[in-house]
Amino acid sequence: MTSMEIMQTADRVMASTYKRFPIVLVKGEGCTVWDAAGKSYLDFVAGIAVCNLGHAHPKLVQALSAQAGALWHVSNLYYSSPQTELAAWLVNHSFADRVFFCNSGAEANEAAIKLARKYYHDQGQTDRYEIMAMDQSFHGRTMAALSATGQEKIRKGFDPVLAGFHFVPFDDIESLAAKLGPATAAVIIEPVQGEGGVRCPSPGYLEAVRKLCDETQTLLILDEVQTGLGRTGRLFAHQHFGIQPDIMTLAKALGNGLPIGAMLATEKVSAAFGAGAHATTFGGTPIVTAASLEVVRILEDEGWVEAGERTGAYFKERLEALKKRQPCIQEVRGLGLLLGLKLDHKGESVVNKCLERGFLINCIQDTILRFVPPLIVTEKEIDRLVSCLDEVLDELAGE
């Protein structure tokens, strides 16, 4: 089919849940993707913070191909080597003692919420089931994850959401302290709010959340679906703040494009998930975990987490310099290679004009341009994007 036929057919036969850009992508390599017409684009979306190692990484292709010729799926009724090795790597590189694999970030957050409730239920505290979440948070679109998401536009039309979820402003420890009570099982929070606008916490905030949870014996769930696996310049974003959660969720970059999620927890908390308490057919299949195991090995062995911190600092400096030249930029936000520009106008036109010039970026919360390129992005590629943004903003200012 031609590109036009593909787009017309997709619009006719697929659910209309996405507003897609009018290009058909067919190939990727490193930080570049190509459409069916042969036009190249520098990718600063990376599948929405997924392809941390870029596209078609040769070692990932090799690992996936080798496993594809050996064993794809056997279910979690049996042991498999790739799944076990990946779980051991995650335990050895984190606070956690146990890992539960699933297929997405939303599923990982569902598992975390269920585990928090089950933990207190098993202690006889059956009335302790409430989850405290943050305004402008995003935890996924399944019903429990949606119920924990503090954005009305995402929850709209799906009432009634699940009971027991409450919200306080992000980065406001006094509001959180006032709302926590004997019925609160857990606080769920993103170390940096991604979909909520690339919002970073103030110094001391996450440390105060951890202390408050300790004082009230409330579980702390950190949603690191977008921030985890090197995105912020640390393996996990909470390592910037010197804290540890009781439960953590991962997905996105863990598979570099393959569907995988993970919920990590301490031994004490994870004990509530005995045999039969939770399950999934496709969670942690051999073929996906073989690729994911290669992902984390490459991140560690080739130093891409540390490189992401250095490159992110360079990128942020370039954006700060751009802000000085462009009065429409109100703020530069972010950590590592999770960065955003807050504009004084809607950002859709900027995204579209960058697309025309061969750059993929996206806009969230109407006015915030978000940049989440692969960790392998180079300074030259960053320079090219910043020059494009400068031209586009000049052009729009003159219209």
How do residues 289-324 score in pLDDT, each as one tens digit?
A: 999 999 999 999 999 999 999 999 999 999 999 999
pLDDT at 76: 96
**Range 160-168 average pLDDT:** 97
Torsions phi, psi for 7 (to 5 deg): -65, -40
Percent of the chain with pLDDT over 70: 100
How do residues 381-391 score in pLDDT, each as one tens digit?
A: 999 999 999 99
> Confidence band (pLDDT; 50, 70, 90) for 110?
very high
> Confidence band (pLDDT; 50, 70, 90) for 398?
confident
Does the pLDDT at position 399 exceed 80?
no
How do residues 184-212 score in pLDDT, each as one tens digit?
A: 999 999 999 999 999 999 999 999 999 99
How do residues 230-265 score in pLDDT, each as one tens digit?
A: 999 999 999 999 999 999 999 999 999 999 999 999
Does the pLDDT at position 337 exceed 90?
yes
Tokens of 101: 């694999």
Q: Are 375 and 304 in contact (CB under 8 A)?
A: yes
> Confidence band (pLDDT; 50, 70, 90) for 147?
very high
Q: Where are the alpha helices (DSSP H) in 75-219?
A: 81-92, 105-122, 143-147, 152-155, 173-179, 205-216
For residue 274, what are the contacts with CB-CB under 8 A and spacing of at least 6? none
CATH of 59-301, one of 3.40.50.300, 3.20.20.140, 3.40.640.10, 2.120.10.30: 3.40.640.10
Beta strands in 173-265 (DSSP E): 184-189, 219-223, 247-250, 261-265
Mean predicted lDDT score pLDDT of the chain: 97
pLDDT at 312: 98
Question: CB atoms < 10 A from the CB of 243, how many?
Answer: 18
Rounded Cα gap, residues 374 and 51, in angstroms? 6
**Range 23-42 average pLDDT:** 98
pLDDT at 351: 98
Domain positions in the chain are: 1-42, 59-301, 311-345
Does the pLDDT at position 13 exceed 80?
yes
Rounded Cα gap, residues 183 and 170, in angstroms? 20
How do residues 269-297 score in pLDDT, each as one tens digit?
A: 999 999 999 999 999 999 999 999 999 99
Residue 366's nearest CA partner among 345, 350, 352 is 345
Q: Using the 8-state DSSP alphabet, how is residue 32 labeled?
A: E
How do residues 44-72 score in pLDDT, each as one tens digit?
A: 999 999 999 999 999 999 999 999 999 99
